[in-house]
Chains A and B, each alone.
Chain A
Amino acid sequence: MSTDTDAHLLELAAAGNAPAFSEFVERHATSLHRFGTRMCGDRHAAADAVQEGLLAAWREARSFRGDASPRTWLFSVVLNACRHLRRKRVGEPTCYAPMASAEKVAAGAAGPEAQARSRELTAVLEGALATLEPEAREVVMLRDIEGFSGDEVARLLGVSLEAMKSRLHRARLALKQALEARLGHPMEEAL
């Protein structure tokens, strides 16, 4: 992998350099997959939505003006693709498939107990996230898991910073409640 910055890779991509675009995307593939899976409800739908988003990003690379970071811009395109897919699937039964391959997650954890705990928490978190309204899931995913700043999340969601903060707080409370219902005990005893 080169030491090029995301901005430079995206600049090259805008000029038609496909390998530069591929490298830029690969850098963010893990978080795009995580985000897509949880926004779309299952990993197969996520793969389709992310591919759709990436093709749109490739076509629109020239429109990148540098107002946001390249990563924020990439997420905005994939977020739109996920929303588009969700709209198309309205009325279909929700088939939530946990994103994490248990073996892969386990392989990265320390001991057997830590592996089991990590698998359990990931599954519980994904199940709880799936019960949130899409707007709540988006804001928690972007702010608390993907680590975008408050300003970036507000920009991604197209709302004011104050509206984003208020939505985030409500979403966190709803997620805490959903997690506690699944865990069967208060959150403070979970970690």
Chain B
Amino acid sequence: MSPRCEAMLPKLSAYADGELSAEERAEVLDHLEGCDDCRRFGAGFDALLTLLHDDAARPDARPDDFGEKLRATLAKLR
């Protein structure tokens, strides 16, 4: 990995979270355009964040005993 690639790595999170300045963002995009390794890594990073964000939208998978315990706990408060 080149020094430029190493410098790029810590910026990926900030890039994904929209926290970079316009200048820094352009710098990342410019690097990604010319670097296959970093572009691939960035695509993997994007896929990771998509997987995580989608996870919260998956159907409710609460097991029945969780609901029962929850209701029993809340019933004690009444």
Chain A residues close to B by CB (< 8 Å): 18-19, 21-22, 25-26, 29-31, 33-34, 43-44, 46-48, 50-51, 54-55, 58, 99-101, 104-105, 107-109, 118, 121-122, 125, 140, 144-147, 150, 165, 168-169, 172-173, 175-176, 179-180, 186-188, 190-191
Are B44 and A188 in contact, with the CB atoms below 8 A? yes
Are B56 and A34 in contact, with the CB atoms below 8 A? yes
Which residues of chain A are within 8 angstroms of B1 by Cβ–Cβ distance? none
Are A100 and B61 in contact, with the CB atoms below 8 A? yes
**Contacts A18-B74, A18-B78; A29 near B48 (Cβ below 8 A):** no
B77 within 8 A of A: yes
Docked CA distance A187–B58 (Å): 19
**Contacts A18-B78, A172-B13; A146 near B61 (Cβ below 8 A):** no
Query: Is chain A's interface secondary structure helix, strand, loop, or mixed overall?
Result: helix
Closest 7 CB pairs of A and B: A108-B59, A187-B44, A144-B52, A18-B77, A188-B43, A169-B13, A100-B61
Are B70 and A29 in contact, with the CB atoms below 8 A? yes
Chain B residues close to A by CB (< 8 Å): 9-10, 12-14, 17, 19, 40, 43-53, 55-56, 58-63, 65-67, 69-70, 73-74, 76-78
**Contacts A99-B61, A144-B52; A43 near B66 (Cβ below 8 A):** yes
Docked CA distance A31–B45 (Å): 24
Docked CA distance A121–B50 (Å): 12
Which residues of chain B are within 8 angstroms of A58 by Cβ–Cβ distance? 77
Number of A-B contacts (CB under 8 A): 120
Are B44 and A172 in contact, with the CB atoms below 8 A? no
Chain B nearest CB from A127 CB (Å) reads 13
Which single residue of chain B is at the shortest CB-CB distance from A149?
Answer: B17
Q: Which of B13, B45, B50, B61 contacts A191 (CB 8 A)?
A: B50
**Contacts A21-B74, A169-B10; A107 near B59 (Cβ below 8 A):** yes
Q: Which of A21, A26, A145 contacts B77 (CB 8 A)?
A: A21
